[in-house]
Amino acid sequence: MALMQDEEWIKARTELGRACAMAQAPPGCADARRQLADRMQTAAGDALRRARNFDNQGRLPEAIALYQRAVDLLAADDPNRATAQERLAALKARR
């Protein structure tokens, strides 16, 4: 369920970015982008928190999946994304 939702959010982010970049952007485009970004940020924060918990418990498969989810959902300029990417790479190297 979460994966399907993530894929839809990522696709929606891309499509909204294109739509809002047009000269004749649809009304409410900026608000829709902001709302989507807020939802994705909340989901990513939850995934990152849970990933850290699993990581601390040594439950690597669960931690890896959740770090990946956080990376996928966080904006490229979010500092938490870089942190999640680093930890994800370290865990994958241990497998």
pTM for this structure? 0.81
CB distance 43 to 6 below 8 Å:
yes
What are 7-53's pLDDT values in tens digits? Answer: 788 888 888 888 888 778 778 888 888 888 899 999 999 999 999 99
Residue 41 in any domain: the answer is no
Q: Is the sign of the CA dihedral 83, 88, 93, 95 positive or negative?
A: positive
Question: What is the rounded CA–CA span in Å between residue 95 and residue 12?
Answer: 33
CB distance 64 to 33 below 8 Å:
no
Quote the number of domains for the chain: 1
Residue 7 in any domain: the answer is no
Alpha helices by DSSP H, listed for the chain, are: 2-21, 29-56, 60-73, 79-94
Residue 61 in any domain: the answer is yes
Residue 62 in any domain: the answer is yes
Question: What is the rounded CA–CA span in Å between residue 32 and residue 12?
Answer: 10
Q: Which domain holds residue 90?
A: 51-95
